[in-house]
């Protein structure tokens, strides 16, 4: 069921379906909660699944020039407070993973598990920050052109024809994102902190999906950091940045197992 709450005089859009332990799905940059339709339907047969349009995305309003990951996390907490949910598993795709980590930092007592789906706990390196700054400059001139260039690269080359309809859906929804929503998200991602130390704790279950052909996430430094950490489940997928679409069955089966383990 789709609903709205008021957060800092802004409208926040979310859906809630199913019953049981709470699983929160947080979408990525230029996406919205419709990206989760298939996965939410599957998981809601056993769990209560909450999908949220993040700040400046979908039907959720902008708050300002910068949407920090902490601000996004505070908004997510407001939705969960509204729903009276205390313990959750967070599944975050890309930017949604960054927000999941920020939420865990701020509200560790509420987190049973965190899944980083084509995401990372590392901060942007200087090259990535520069890329985002260039993207901001280009978005100010022509946001449509940037979106149309960016979306196809989210899929592995060999999957672009196979998932053409999914790609078109993502593109259609991405083009609904306001210029300010795009800029605010980019600014927030640039300044996010490194939370790898948080991933070392034993306070919650952890699952990381890594796409072999994911060009949006720098896998090498992530893989190097993961080798020094313990008690983390890592699943390597054959596709690109859209693992839950390109490798749907593998992602779903691993998520089901992970959620069960998180709530034990």
Domain boundaries, the chain: 2-262
Q: Going by C-beta distance under 8 Å and a sequence separation of 6 or more, which residues neighbour residue 9?
A: none
Q: How far apart are CA 18 and CA 211, in angstroms?
A: 29
> 159-162: which pairs have CB atoms within 8 A and are 24 or more residues apart?
159/239, 159/240, 159/246
Taking only the tens of pLDDT, the chain with its 264 residues reads 779 999 999 999 999 999 999 999 999 999 999 999 999 999 999 999 999 999 999 999 999 999 999 999 999 999 999 999 999 999 999 999 999 999 999 999 999 999 999 999 999 999 999 999 999 999 999 999 989 999 999 999 999 999 999 999 999 999 999 999 999 999 999 999 999 999 988 899 999 999 999 999 999 999 999 988 888 999 999 999 999 999 999 999 999 999 999 999
Give how far the C-alpha of residue 50 lies from the chain's centroid of Cα atoms, to the nearest Å. Answer: 13
Fold of 2-262: Rossmann fold (3.40.50)
Predicted TM-score (pTM) of the model is 0.97
Q: What is the CA radius of gyration of the chain?
A: 17
159 DSSP assignment? G
12 half-sphere exposure, CB direction, 13 A CA radius: 23
Cα 55 to Cα 28, 80, 110: the distances in Å are: 11, 15, 21
């Amino acid at each position: 069921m789709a609903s709205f709450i008021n957060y800092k005089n802004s409208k926040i859009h979310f859906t809630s379906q199913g019953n049981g332990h709470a699983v929160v799905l947080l979408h990525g940059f230029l996406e919205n909660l419709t990206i989760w339709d298939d996965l939410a339907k599957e998981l809601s047969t056993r769990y209560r699944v909450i999908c949220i349009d993040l700040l400046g995305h979908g039907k959720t309003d902008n708050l300002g020039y910068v949407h920090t990951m902490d601000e996004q996390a505070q908004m997510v907490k407001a939705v969960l407070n509204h729903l009276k949910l205390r313990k959750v598993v967070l599944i975050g795709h890309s930017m949604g993973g960054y927000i999941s980590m920020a939420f865990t930092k701020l509200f560790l007592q509420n987190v049973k598990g965190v899944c980083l789906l084509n995401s990372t706990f590392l901060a942007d390196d200087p090259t990535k920050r520069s890329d985002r700054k260039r993207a901001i400059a280009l978005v100010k001139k022509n946001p449509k052109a940037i979106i149309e260039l960016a979306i196809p690269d989210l899929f592995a080359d060999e999957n672009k024809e196979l998932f053409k309809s999914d790609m078109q859906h993502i593109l259609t929804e991405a083009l609904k994102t306001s210029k300010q929503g795009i800029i605010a998200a980019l600014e927030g991602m640039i300044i996010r902190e490194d939370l790898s130390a948080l991933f070392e704790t034993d306070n919650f279950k952890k699952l990381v999906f890594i796409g072999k052909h994911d060009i949006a996430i720098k896998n090498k430094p992530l893989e190097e950091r993961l080798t020094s950490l313990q008690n983390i489940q890592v699943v390597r997928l054959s596709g690109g940045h859209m693992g839950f679409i390109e490798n749907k069955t593998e992602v779903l089966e691993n998520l089901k197992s992970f959620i069960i383990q998180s709530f034990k």
